[in-house]
Amino acid sequence: MKAVVLLSGGLDSSTVLYQATSDGCECYAISFDYQQRHQRELEAAKAIAHSAGVVEHQLVNFDLNAWGGSALTDEALDIPTQRSLGEMSQNIPITYVPARNTIFLSFALAYAEARDAGRVYLGVNALDYSGYPDCRPDYIQAMQEVFRLGTKQGREGDAIAIVTPLIELKKTEIIQLGNQLVVPWEQTWSCYAGNETACGVCDACRLRLAAFAELGLQDPLPYAQI
């Protein structure tokens, strides 16, 4: 079966791509340059797509920077740093990008139907401390209905399925799965800061580092601070 995989180049999406490959899918990766501050992740996405042997890797360009509304797209807003896991879980953080997954899934749906794919894989996680609203099961269920109602395939009874293999996994469990799938962690990128070396202090870095440490493993990425 053909599958479109949303690939940011991060730990989660890279694991999902390798899972889709393991599931026997013919994979088509799609990544997004939305003028995010951490564009370094696009280099990681390209490397991971190559390592996984995807059939095709699409890069879609659009500009969310002009709208702002998130610390990931507006340099006037500070990216939170040095926060504890408890602090991260209190509120939806300023790194939430308005409607990002809805935008991403719309592109992925169009790409999937154009390629006659039966699945769209997405690396959302409902247990992540960020608590983004567009990473939760009820949101995915609603988007699945959009996939059914908004496409020719869906109306003809063959709706494209949204597959979210990580949605109920802890970060440690995702790393364990990735290790089983032999994901090259050294090629991935999680940091929110727009630097060539991962900062080690943003929420994404701290969640990643904490999970590797909990498993007694060394994250192969270099960090500016730990």
Residue 76 lies in a domain: yes
Could you read off the pLDDT of 168-189 as tens digits, one per residue? 999 999 999 999 999 999 999 9
Residue 173 lies in a domain: yes
User: Could you tell me the pLDDT band of residue 84, with boundaries at 50, 70 and 90?
Assistant: confident
Please report, for the domain that includes residue 195, its CATH number: 3.40.50.620
In this prediction, what percent of the chain has a pLDDT beyond 90?
A: 85
Q: Is the pLDDT of residue 129 over 60?
A: no
**How many domains is the chain partitioned into structurally?**
1
Residue 35 lies in a domain: yes
Number of other residues whose CB lies within 10 A of the CB of residue 137: 12
What would the mean pLDDT of 67-73 be, rounded to a whole number? 92
Residue 147 lies in a domain: yes
Residue 180 lies in a domain: yes
User: Residue 70: left if φ>0, alpha if ψ -120 to 50, beta else—which one?
Assistant: beta
Residue 221 lies in a domain: no
Residue 186 lies in a domain: yes
Could you read off the pLDDT of 203-220 as tens digits, one per residue? 999 999 999 999 999 999
What are φ and ψ of residue 101, in 5° steps? -70, -30
Domain containing 38 equals 2-214
Residue 224 lies in a domain: no
Contact 129, 203 (CB under 8 A): yes
- Count Cβ neighbours within 10 Å for each residue of 147-177 and write b for 16 or more, e otherwise: bbebbebbeeeebbbbbbbbbebebeebbbb
What would the mean pLDDT of 46-60 be, rounded to a whole number? 98
Residue labelled with tokens 């900062």: 199
What are φ and ψ of residue 163, in 5° steps? -110, 125
Q: Is the pLDDT of residue 24 over 70?
A: yes
Structure tokens at 124: 């959302």
Contact 148, 154 (CB under 8 A): yes
Number of other residues whose CB lies within 10 A of the CB of residue 3: 26
| Long-range interactions of 144-147: CB distance < 8 A, separation 24+ | 146/109, 147/109, 147/120
